[in-house]
Amino acid sequence: MDDGREDEKKEGEQEPQGAVGGEDVIDDPILEQGAVILRGYVVDRINTEDPGRHVSSEDLGGRPNELQDPQVKEVVDQLIKIADELNRNAELQQLINQVQGDCAQDIFMKVARNIFADGINWGRVVALFHLAYRLIYRALTSNHLDTIRTVISWVLQVIKDLLYSWLIQQGGWVGVIRGISRWRTVAIVASLVLVATFVYYRKTR
């Protein structure tokens, strides 16, 4: 499995253009679906928290109807269930709300590495998605639309560099449907994102 991945890297050392997750998405099902699921997560969060905004996947650089896939919907629904627990943490929300919308890539990557520093699970994946959602939402509300594709590309880079092998082991993104140990995930999400966001905030204030 890893050997095949190494071969792919050798054939195209240059970062594929589709890493932005738009019309030119790379021919890699893990990264391609990751971009779609991230957009689905962001669309759901925004339409729930700010229903007057009416955001679609296309507004985030996606394709028409890409979120209609039943499997994508189910994966997004599972991630949202984890996020709903995360949203109940008032202290965490306060810290996330203080994150600067125009953060630099190196800061974002440092936070991402912190989140996954001592292991990977679906709760930590949601932590990454939730941070990206906050940055994308701020880009939308401040009309910095170029930032949306930039943040999506950062998340896909994290998936490529840190999560790819683990996602393969889970059977892809559908692994979240059967792979959640709920009590453990929620505790990890709350503690790790709190720490990661605090580190991020301290470095950007």
For residues 149 and 47, the answer to whether their CB atoms sit within 8 Å is: no
25-44 burial code (b ≥16 CB/10 A, e <16): bbebebbbbbbbbbbbbbbb
Q: What is the pLDDT of residues 154-198, one digit of tens each?
A: 999 999 999 999 999 999 999 888 765 554 555 555 555 555 555
Angle, vertex CA 200, rays to CA 81 and CA 138, nearest 5 = 65
CATH class of 29-173: mainly alpha
Kindly list the domain boundaries of the chain, sorted by start residue.
29-173
Q: What is the pLDDT of residues 22-38, one digit of tens each?
A: 444 457 999 999 999 99
Q: What is the pTM of this model?
A: 0.77
Tokens for 199, please give them: 């580190």
Burial (CB count <10 Å: 0-12, 13-18, 19+), residue 154: buried
Q: What is the pLDDT of residues 17-73, one digit of tens each?
A: 334 444 444 579 999 999 999 999 999 999 998 988 889 999 999 999 999 999 999
- Integer angstrom CA distances of residue 11 from 5, 6, 60, 105, 189: 10, 9, 29, 26, 36
DSSP string, 94-112: HHHHTS-TT--HHHHHHHH
- Integer angstrom CA distances of residue 183 from 24, 104, 192: 38, 33, 14
